[in-house]
Structure 1
Amino acid sequence: MIDRVRLHDRIQRSTDILVALVMLTLTAPLMLAVAALVAWRLGTPVLFRQARPGLHGRVFTMIKFRTMRDVDPDRGLITDADRMTRLGRILRATSVDELPTFLNILKGDMSLVGPRPLLVRYLHLYTPTQARRHEVRPGLTGLAQVRGRNALSWEDKFDLDVWYVDHRTLRLNLRILVETVTTVLRREGIAAEGQVTMPEFTGSRGRARGVARV
């Protein structure tokens, strides 16, 4: 079992490097165009940088294209809904805002497939089981993203994350990548009901969870 997992993780890392190099090369013209649009509509910097916990909870800086205006109480720009721009909605709906994240994959901060990296301030809120999502590198996409994305409850997301950790295979990764394309094209689960993205995670209150189903 341990040897199988180690072999899987080595192959996955090699695949991550190859795909990241190819994608960064192929999408370079698109990223330059998006960077120019973001600079024009939102100003600089064009990249959004934020600390996120990765493998074993180690913190790294994730990069994406900016989709929101800066917080400015004087202009009424406080909540995510206030700060989100039309350009930002398009970038998020098409996942184009995620293209710079291939640099994180190339560096080894992230993987193509794995639990999505969340906020550092959530670390102390996880149950011991939920914290197991950090036993693998966080992913650009993951099982939760193709099973509902932001339309899922936090608990259902974490169930799927931990199920992935225990059952990860190259075949499952390929299946998730294929389903990700469909999810993006259909623009499914971009936001939770009544939210721009997801509500704040405040803990699961010790609620017992069932086994995730895929």
Structure 2
Amino acid sequence: MGTSKKKYDYLKRAIDIVGSGVALVALSPIIGAVGLAVRSKLGSPIIFQQERPGKDGKIFTIYKFRSMLDVDEAKGLVSNEDRITSFGQKLRSTSLDELPSLWNVLRGDMSLVGPRPLHVRYLPRYNAHQRRRHEVRPGITGLAQVSGRNLLNWSDRLDMDVEYVEQRSLSLDCQIVWKTVAAVLDRSGISAEGHVASSEFTGAATANQQAADAA
């Protein structure tokens, strides 16, 4: 890691602490209102919790507002597409479901900007290049999210995550935050075709790459 990147990481953490702390206080009325709406529309619990890999692959629990109904096979509520409601779609399209993740930022699990934390089950599917996305804290928003969000194919999306790791700076983070606001207002790139969010990442490493990684 370059000296400039290491210095910026300290500044970035300070920005995360101040930014998330101020946001949690300033947005507390909105957070409370969304929580009440989730309770009314979807029931309890109002907070969705799931394990995700963070920096260096360390597992943490991410917090988001719930946006789906419970699985209920009798009612045909099995897949994500079955369980999502119009209310849940609005939460996701406005990114209001992400507000509880500010607590993850304050705790140090996440950053305001960085590669999005994906599923733990994806960890063994990355090749050596793609695993570099875990060299930094995952973010609430990131380079891939302002470049098409879930509409990008997995190869491009993960390449952008690594590009962020290599190019991260205060200037780049400010650009990403600005573009995030524009993307949320435009509600663009929320879902991949045929999926509520993004499609499943099944692994991009070839057998030769996997063998080389293991060597």
The two structures share one fold, judged by TM-score above 0.5:
yes
Give the superposition deviation at 1:58. 0.1
- TM alignment of 1:144-163, pairs within 5 A: 144-163=144-163
Give the superposition deviation at 1:64. 0.3
Aligned residue for 2:48? Answer: 48
Aligned residue for 1:135? Answer: 135
Give the superposition deviation at 1:205. 4.4
The percentage of counterpart residues that share the same residue type is 51
| Amino acid in structure 2 at the alignment position of 1:34 | V
Distance of 2:177 and 2:34 partners within structure 1: 23
| Amino acid in structure 1 at the alignment position of 2:89 | R
Aligned residue for 1:198? Answer: 198
**Per-residue CA shift, 1:130-172, capped at 9, x if unaligned?**
0000000000000000000000001110000001101111100
Aligned residue for 2:213? Answer: none
Query: Do residues 167 (structure 1) and 167 (structure 2) align?
Result: yes
**Per-residue CA shift, 1:36-76, capped at 9, x if unaligned?**
11111111110000000000000000000000011111110
Aligned residue for 2:106? Answer: 106
| Amino acid in structure 2 at the alignment position of 1:166 | E
Give the superposition deviation at 1:204. 1.1
Q: Which segments of 5 or more consecutive residues in structure 1 lack a partner in the other structure?
A: 209-214
| Secondary structure of 2:30 counterpart | helix
Distance of 1:164 and 1:205 partners within structure 2: 20
Distance of 1:81 and 1:63 partners within structure 2: 21
| Amino acid in structure 1 at the alignment position of 2:26 | L
Q: Which segments of 5 or more consecutive residues in structure 2 lack a partner in the other structure?
A: 209-215
Runs of 4+ in structure 1 over 4 Å off: none
Give the superposition deviation at 1:34. 0.9
| Amino acid in structure 1 at the alignment position of 2:190 | I
Give the superposition deviation at 1:207. 9.4
- The 1:43/1:115 distance shift into structure 2, 3 A limit, reads same
Give the superposition deviation at 1:87. 1.1
Residue correspondences, number: 208
Over aligned residues, Cα RMSD in angstroms? 1.3
- The 1:87/1:207 distance shift into structure 2, 3 A limit, reads farther
| Secondary structure of 2:100 counterpart | helix
- The 1:115/1:207 distance shift into structure 2, 3 A limit, reads farther
